[in-house]
Amino acid sequence: MPRNFKLPFTLNVKDPRFAMRAIIGVLLVANLAAAIVAFKPFGGSAEDLRRQQDSLRAQVTRAQQHLKESRELVGKVEKARAEGDQFLSKYFTEMEATAAMILTELDAASKQAGIKMGAAQFDREEIEGSETLQMLTTKVGFEGNYLNLTKFVNLLDKSPRFMIIEDLQAAAPQQQGGQALTVTLKIDTFVKETAAP
């Protein structure tokens, strides 16, 4: 590279033509910048802003609707939980007292219906998915005529306790001339374990 390097043209800053060209260039750049801002604003046109505003309003409306539905769902869940707890406290008895209460209820209903109650057998089963609830199955035999046994079943049906007659087997003994029936009932009730103190 040669040591004496010279530009092919010389810049003469004192020349008035150079100053005018520089001023015109600066004005041209400023006009271009103003035109860009005027015709295509960086925030978008008025129509773009209107569309964006409408979109945001629609999003807010959807979010408010979703919030309302969520609050309604929470209310329904709380109501269901309260009703479930009320059902459990009303129809599910404590484990320690259930067998005696069932025997008392069956004995009272059998005396009211005019039938004779036999011996009872109890069996407990765990309810799947619950740690505190169990099903207590009672098998008990009764003896009486058809009308009295029908009255007994109706009394059990109207009982304030939550008892389910799972199975009913009736047989007429041959030696009594068919007047008396022997009925074996399998009754399900539900119990809850009391929490240890």
Helices 95-113 and 146-157 pack at an angle, to 10 degrees, of 140
Residue with the larger pLDDT of the pair 109 and 161: 109
Long-range contacts formed by 129-133: CB under 8 A, 24+ apart: 132/192, 132/193, 132/195, 133/88, 133/92, 133/190, 133/191, 133/192, 133/193
CATH class of segment(s) 93-192 = alpha beta
- Whether residue 2 is predicted with pLDDT greater than 60 in this model: the reply is no
Q: pLDDT tens for residues 82-101? A: 998 888 877 777 777 778 88
Whether residue 9 is predicted with pLDDT greater than 60 in this model: the reply is no
pLDDT at 13: 64
What pTM does this model have?
0.55
For residues 83 and 129, the answer to whether their CB atoms sit within 8 Å is: no
Q: 169: closest CA among 151, 149, 154, 188?
A: 149
Q: Where are the domains of the chain?
A: 93-192
Q: How far apart are CA 143 and CA 119, in angstroms?
A: 11
Supply the pLDDT for residue 3.
62
Return the closest-CA partner of residue 113 out of 158, 159, 144, 157. 144
**Distance between CA atoms of 197 and 192, rounded to whole angstroms?**
15
Asked whether the beta carbons of 154 and 56 are under 8 A apart, the reply is: no
